[in-house]
Amino acid sequence: DATRRVRIGLMVGALAKKENLMASEDEITDRTERLLAPYSVEEQKQIDRGRVRDYAISTIRNEKVLEYLESIQ
């Protein structure tokens, strides 16, 4: 359900901000490069790196929130 996904996304974002669970530049760069690695140089030229970077930031944040939630159980 779309409404549920939006609510969860907002809660994850709020928790990440409150607990300072943000990705470092090194983490973002590393994840971005790993996401792009399977593609050839020519294919990488066609990929929007900004979108890949945004995806990397989002996934790292989500992983950090999950780790945080698991640590407080």
pLDDT per residue as tens digits for the range 9-65: 999 999 999 999 999 999 999 999 999 999 999 999 999 999 999 999 999 999 999
pTM given for the model: 0.86
Buried b (16+ CB within 10 A) or exposed e, 26-50: ebbeebbeebeeeeeeeeeeeeeee
pLDDT at 54: 97
pLDDT at 35: 98
Residue 34 DSSP symbol: H
Placement of tokens 């609510």 in the chain:
7
The residue type of 27 is: E
Residue 40 DSSP symbol: -
Cβ atoms of 21 and 64 within 8 Å: the answer is: yes
